[in-house]
């Protein structure tokens, strides 16, 4: 297929670009700088510098593409997570960018749009499983993701195929916050947000990328892209410690994360999200069934001498 990808130069998105090329697709990717363009060309993609807010320029670029994939996000670094101004760029790219991309895809006659979203949109559901039928929570931080999802759904109601991928909490090489978590675990400090009995639904970045490829052949709709086995937060912290080869002496911030305000709210919830719908629809199987295996692989790659 001929595929256009926006956000394919990101820490995790660059692996999606590679996975698409490896699967035999002809990939055109958005590059905002000449360095990123050179990186894409090296990978085997055609690089195009176009604004995600410019409908008419996007329409020209999308002509002849079979699918458009939007993985753009501008999530601030962990140190600025609690600063609301740091989230403005993310809101803009998710709300205005996804609107322009869908408008342009419709104008260009593209038949499929794949939109990144997150499974942290669901409300806390204790130890019960969550599937796509569960209504999302409308908390303030969810606004931009829900707007991007609405654009993909608008693409579907216009007679084309809009696919929303609700990714679990990314971890693995390239997912910056998770690299920071592993570095802390090497000092016996393990990140654990909320109750130790709550569930965290994560996804290794390499599994997220194979899901993007599989989504090129799935029916329109919303799909959870998470590990087969979400872990309880206590087990997740243990998996992190085991991968770091250390004992978890400190588990932070624990329930104190509830005091951090709405930007951390969803990360403190118990989200036991199921990937069954996507697995059944596509035959996709994550390489790492849970964070136990995925963290070990991540540590081996990031700290090969250990």
Ligand X SMILES: NC(=O)c1ccc[n+]([C@@H]2O[C@H](COP(=O)([O-])OP(=O)(O)OC[C@H]3O[C@@H](n4cnc5c(N)ncnc54)[C@H](OP(=O)(O)O)[C@@H]3O)[C@@H](O)[C@H]2O)c1
List of residues contacting ligand X (CB under 6 A): 6-7, 9-13, 30, 32, 36, 52, 72-75, 93, 118, 167, 169-170, 175-177
For the CB of residue 247, give the shortest distance to ligand X in the complex, in Å.
26
Q: Would you say 75 or 182 has its CB closer to ligand X?
A: 75
Q: Tell me how far, at minimum, the Cβ of 157 lies from ligand X, in Å.
A: 25
Nearest position to ligand X, beta carbon: 10
Min dist CB 159 to ligand X, Å, is 27
Q: Which lies closer to ligand X via its Cβ, residue 178 or residue 245?
A: 178
**Cβ distance to ligand X smaller for residue 79 or 157:** 79
CB of 166 to ligand X, least distance (A): 8
State the nearest-atom distance from the C-beta of 51 to ligand X, in Å. 7
Is 170 or 236 the residue whose CB approaches ligand X more closely? 170
Half-sphere exposure of 287 (CA within 13 A, CB side): 14
CA–CA dist 274, 132 (Å, integer): 8
Nearest residue (CB) to ligand X, 175 versus 279: 175
Contact between 224 and 272 (Cβ < 8 Å): no
* CB of residue 44 to ligand X, shortest distance in Å: 17
The strand pairing partners of 225, in sequence order, are: 167
Which of residues 249 and 287 has its CB atom nearest to ligand X in the complex?
Answer: 287
Q: 98 or 282, CB closer to ligand X?
A: 98
Q: What are the backbone angles phi and psi of residue 272, rounded to the nearest 5°?
A: -100, 85
Contact partners, residue 119, CB within 8 Å, separation at least 6: 130, 166, 167, 168, 169, 201, 224, 225, 226, 271, 273
Rounded to 10 degrees, what is the CA torsion of 224, 232, 234, 226? -20
Supply the minimum distance, in Å, between the C-beta of residue 171 and ligand X.
8
């Amino acid at each position: 297929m001929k595929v256009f990808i926006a956000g394919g130069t990101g820490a995790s998105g660059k692996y999606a670009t590679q996975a698409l090329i490896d699967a035999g697709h002809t990939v055109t990717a958005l590059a905002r700088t000449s360095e990123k363009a050179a990186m894409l060309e090296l990978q085997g993609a055609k690089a195009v510098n176009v604004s995600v807010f410019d409908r008419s320029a996007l329409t020209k670029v999308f002509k002849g593409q079979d699918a458009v994939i939007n993985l753009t996000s501008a999530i601030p670094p962990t140190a600025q997570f609690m600063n609301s101004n740091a989230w403005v760029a993310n809101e803009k790219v998710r709300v205005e960018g996804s609107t322009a991309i869908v408008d342009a895809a419709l104008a260009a006659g593209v038949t499929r749009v794949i939109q990144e979203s997150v499974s942290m949109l669901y409300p806390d559901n204790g130890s019960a499983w969550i599937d796509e039928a569960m209504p999302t929570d409308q908390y303030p931080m969810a606004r931009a993701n829900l707007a991007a999802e609405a654009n993909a759904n608008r693409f579907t109601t216009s007679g084309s195929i809009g696919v929303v991928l609700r990714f679990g909490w990314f971890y693995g090489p390239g997912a910056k916050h998770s690299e920071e978590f592993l570095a802390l675990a090497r000092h016996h400090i393990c990140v654990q947000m909320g109750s130790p009995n709550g569930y965290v639904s994560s996804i290794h970045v390499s599994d997220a990328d194979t899901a993007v490829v599989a989504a090129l052949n799935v029916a329109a709709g919303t799909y959870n892209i998470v590990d087969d086995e979400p872990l309880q937060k206590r087990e997740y912290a243990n998996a992190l410690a085991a991968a770091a080869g250390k004992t978890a002496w400190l588990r932070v911030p624990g329930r104190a994360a509830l005091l951090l305000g709405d930007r951390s709210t969803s990360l403190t919830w118990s989200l036991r999200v199921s990937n069954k719908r996507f697995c059944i629809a596509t035959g996709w199987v994550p390489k790492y069934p849970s964070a136990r295996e995925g963290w070990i692989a991540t540590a081996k790659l990031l700290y090969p001498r250990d």
